[in-house]
Amino acid sequence: MQLTDTAIRKASPAARLIKLSDGGGLQLHVHPNGSKYWKLACRYDGKQKKLAFGVYPEVSLAEARKRREAARALLRDGKDPMVERRVEKLARAIAAANTFAAVADELLAKMTREGRAETTLKKTKWLFDFARPIIGDRPIAEINAAEVLAVLRKVEVRGRLETARRLRSTIGSVFRYAIATARADNDPTFALRGALTTPKVKPRAAVTDPKAVGALLRSVWDYDGQPATKAALQLMAYLFPRPGELRLAEWPEFDFEAAVWSIPAPRMKMRRAHKVPLPSQAIAILTQFREITGCDTAPGDPPDR
Q: How high is the pLDDT of residue 295?
A: 58
Q: How high is the pLDDT of residue 304?
A: 44
205 within some domain: no
* Contact in structure between 143 and 185 (CB atoms under 8 Å): no
Task: Choose the final residue of a domain: 23, 56, 83.
Answer: 83
Say if pTM beats, i.e. exceeds, 0.85.
Answer: no
Task: Give the DSSP H/E element, type plus range, for residue 41.
Answer: strand 36-44
Closest among 49, 47, 43, 52 to 76, alpha carbons compared? 43
Closest among 77, 177, 92 to 139, alpha carbons compared? 92
Helices (H) and strands (E) in the chain, counts: 11, 7
Distance separating alpha carbons of residues 99 and 119, to the nearest angstrom: 25
Closest among 112, 104, 71 to 88, alpha carbons compared? 71
Distances, alpha carbon 221 to alpha carbons 50, 224, 242, 301, in Å:
89, 8, 20, 20
Backbone angles phi and psi of 272, in degrees to 5? -125, 140
Q: How buried is residue 72: exposed, middle or buried, by Cβ count under 10 Å (0-12/13-18/19+)? A: middle
18 within some domain: yes
In a shared domain, residues 79 and 149: no
89 within some domain: no
In a shared domain, residues 129 and 186: yes
Q: How buried is residue 131: exposed, middle or buried, by Cβ count under 10 Å (0-12/13-18/19+)? A: buried
Task: Write out the DSSP string of 43-67.
Answer: EETTEEEEEEEEEETTS-HHHHHHH
In a shared domain, residues 120 and 74: no
90 within some domain: no
Distance separating alpha carbons of residues 196 and 150, to the nearest angstrom: 11
Crossing angle for the helix pair 161-180 and 100-113, to the nearest 10 degrees: 90
Single-letter residue type at 40: L
Closest among 69, 25, 59 to 43, alpha carbons compared? 25
Q: How high is the pLDDT of residue 262?
A: 92
When divided into structural domains, the chain yields a total of 3
Closest among 1, 25, 29, 6 to 16, alpha carbons compared? 29
Instruction: Assign residue 35 the CATH number of its domain.
Output: 3.30.160.390
Extract long-range pairs of 279-288: CB within 8 Å, 24+ residues apart: 279/238, 281/238, 282/235, 282/238, 282/239, 283/256, 283/259, 285/231, 285/234, 285/235, 285/238, 286/231, 286/235, 286/254, 286/256, 287/256, 288/231
* Contact in structure between 228 and 247 (CB atoms under 8 Å): no
184 within some domain: yes
In a shared domain, residues 174 and 231: no
301 within some domain: no
In a shared domain, residues 77 and 129: no
34 within some domain: yes
SS3 79: coil
* Contact in structure between 263 and 276 (CB atoms under 8 Å): yes
Q: Which domain holds residue 182?
A: 100-192
Distance separating alpha carbons of residues 142 and 58, to the nearest angstrom: 27
SS3 159: coil
94 within some domain: no
For the chain (305 residues), the mean pLDDT of every run of 10, in chain order, is 87 90 90 92 85 90 91 87 82 78 94 86 93 93 93 91 92 95 91 83 77 88 88 91 87 91 83 89 91 60 43
Backbone angles phi and psi of 283, in degrees to 5? -65, -40
Bridge pairing between strands 260-263 and 274-277: antiparallel
